[in-house]
Structure 1
């Protein structure tokens, strides 16, 4: 009996070890996929132009998964090596902290959460298991560690000076006859339910490195209604306070996932450029999470940008030609200066290519008849402008802020 009990205990321990070791990567391999549909060969002139670009991607959810950005893997969409292969100059990494069971684009309750089980199965610190605030802080710690482990190949973007310096550094690397290796990284949030109702937590997030945030994700919260929530309301008074605080401290407001009422409220009060970090336009793909023409005009009126994604929920397919079609719509409606990239890589989506293959977007824009100047703007120039306008300069940082050193990088 004793031997049988010991054997059973051993089997349970082995099963538990296997679960915690293998299940996170197995789940991700089944979640962040490439559909394998055909892609055209890349022409020499497209590759040459692509290699000369400064590329910015406004949205990737890589921090959600149990792997290091600095590790090269053969699954998912983003890691440091593939960013370099794709010539990405600046990647914004977003933090997903809660998603509803049965997640869909139409209506979701805030009562359930899939990420708690994921946090436990990944053996994240215990404090993250039942606190959205701590989950957010953990994702910022992961990004800080990636920067520290990158041997200078990843650089944190905390103030506008960092963005300007990165431009110069990558240009210098290119002038030396080498493909640029230094990649800027910035932290964003997918929904500020992580504030847990406490306005003071926003400053804690800023001090830890957050520089952009969407107010909601797939459900309504105490700040605003989600396009995918049950009520789909506008900004609450708490939400208005947070938008004002974000703009004042130099944190970019992201309207992705906001309800129509929420988008209208934010655009009406915005004093800095607003972004839609990842999604599409209803004129190309008529799903409810995409922007109407009126909303595109509203973002443009703030000087902001629309980050266009590569998955079927944003484009109704995964063909790079659809991304180009969406870019053309934004250009013709409000001007090329308001179109940008927002992949949603590693966001539980299926795409045609990973970040090493962004050259397919460059070629699709060429094929659509865009000029070199327009392509440079869409692929990164517009985003760089908004980041430099939305973040504060180093000289404006409060002197009493102990979390930021003189380089403007997070001290955590």
Structure 2
């Protein structure tokens, strides 16, 4: 009898393990990146016509973290390459997420809280070294994109100005061409070693934010506990980033950290995905003072589409935030940073981007201004900040 009980228990454990490694990650993906319902009304003919002639550049997307082949169309989550193409996306920044503490909150996130990424990595059967190394998690996500590039000749990786120009030239002839850029969301991925900036650049990363959801060794996060400025280590890393022509991303940075970085830089910086306090008062969002300071250096404010960033669950809420930035500092400093697949609530998936174009028209933006917001401003800043050659 005991032997039968042990067999039963072992069989249950085997089934539990098999189940964890086959369905846990897709279940988490579907739960945290819920695909929104299709809008009830179609896009107007005018908006669709404007959108069809407007390439989209999105400054932030977390697809690489999740159990989806980028090249396959899915009925869960917010993006995949087929849906990006449906939405007329021509430039997509894919960000590597390497640590997410349990209980994260805009009111303050403790970096020492249980990290959820090792469980997601294990459930997807990532290499065991990624279960303990944040650097290896970033490198693995880069390899995931590189494998997709090898299987789709219309997918390109942009690391230099020449790569950007070649991608845009190809896309003018072949609309299916989609340029991708790699970004790191928070340089806790360096694991305390500034020379790992070089390792990340070698892997293809060309945009990096200093912090993510919590304060780290470089400085304070907008949703950290201390929200301080740049540390000595952060200053060392900042110098290495500048030497490597890495684009600086101030998304998730504390107010003090933004101030410290701007006083030490002259080149344009980006805030890849954010809201603005002028339309949605939140510690996660940018103040008018910082919008003006970033614009003064020629930088970009990537406005998100998720509910907590824009205080609304419609494209009109994003358009309202974009209008605030445009009225404050000029349309030349407005960009799009969706935060697709970032465990956020969004009003449409990548195929639904024409709805944002319609909201921008309704907000009084001209087709020429929409072209700047959707991609023209991003192309300009990339041409100013990417290295001329690798």
TM-score > 0.5 by shorter chain? yes
Gaps of 5+ in 1: 174-179, 398-412
Partner of 1:118: 120
Tell me the secondary structure at the aligned position of residue 60 of structure 1: coil
Larger displacement relative to structure 2 (232-241 or 1-10) = 1-10
Question: Which secondary structure does the structure 1 equivalent of 2:224 belong to?
Answer: coil
SS of the residue 2:208 aligns to: strand
Matches within 5 A, 1:69-88: 69-88=70-89
| Alignment partner, residue 287 of structure 2 | 292
Give the distance between the partners of 2:207 and 2:267, measured in 1 at CA. Answer: 12
Matched, 1:164 2:159: no
Deviation at 1:347, TM superposition (A): 0.2
* Match status 1:360 vs 2:331: no
1:406 counterpart residue number: none
Q: Which residue in the other structure is 1:228 paired with?
A: 223
For residue 50 of structure 2, what is the aligned residue in structure 1?
Answer: 49
Q: Secondary structure at the match of 1:233?
A: coil
162-171 vs 89-98, which moves further: 162-171
Q: Partner of 2:176 in structure 1?
A: 181
Aligned residue in 2 for 1:375: 370
Match of 2:275 among 270, 280, 286: 280
Indicate which of 235, 255, 264 corresponds to 1:260: 255
Report the counterpart of residue 335 of structure 1 in structure 2.
Answer: 330
The answer to whether residue 304 in structure 2 is matched with residue 309 in structure 1 is yes
2:268 is paired with a residue whose SS is coil
Q: 1 CA distance for matches of 2:35 and 2:140?
A: 28
Which residue of structure 2 aligns with residue 242 of structure 1?
Answer: 237
Q: Distance in 1 between matches of 2:295 and 2:263?
A: 12
Instruction: Name the structure 1 match of 2:138.
Output: 136
Query: Are 1:393 and 2:388 an aligned pair?
Result: yes
Cα displacement (A) at 1:367:
1.2
Post-superposition shift, 1:244? 2.1
2:202 counterpart of 1:207: yes
Q: CA contact under 8 A between 1:106 and 1:227: conserved in structure 2?
A: no
DSSP-derived class of the 1:76 partner: coil
**Which secondary structure state, in structure 2, belongs to the residue aligned with residue 28 of structure 1?**
helix
TM-score, normalised to structure 2's length? 0.97
Structure-1 separation of matches of 2:40 and 2:285:
25
Shift of 1:6: 2.7
State the shift of 1:39 in Å: 5.0
1:61 maps to what in 2? Answer: 62
Is 1:195 the counterpart of 2:190 in the alignment?
A: yes
- Counterparts of 1:38 and 1:72, CA distance in 2: 19
Render the CA deviation track for 1:140-167: whole Å, top value 9, x for unaligned.
11111111122x1210011111111111
3-state SS of the aligned residue for 1:277?
strand
Question: Distance between the aligned counterparts of 1:78 and 1:182, measured in 2?
Answer: 16
Give SS of 2:343's match: coil
Cα distance in 1 for partners of 2:218, 2:135 equals 15
| Separation in 1, partners of 2:230, 2:3 | 62
| Contact in 1 for aligned 2:35/2:75 (Cα 8 Å) | no
Pick which of 26-35 and 311-320 moved more. 26-35
TM-score (normalizing by structure 1): 0.92
Q: Deviations over 1:371-399 (max 9, x none)?
A: 111010000000111111111012xx3xx
Moved more, 35-44 or 270-279: 35-44
**C-alpha separation between the residues in 2 aligned to 1:189 and 1:256?**
11
RMSD: 1.2
* Stretch of structure 1 that moved more, 294-303 or 29-38: 29-38
- Three-state SS of the structure 1 residue aligned to 2:71 is coil
Counterpart-to-counterpart distance in 2, 1:154 and 1:299: 31
Q: Does 1:149 align with 2:151?
A: yes
Q: Number of residues paired by the alignment?
A: 388
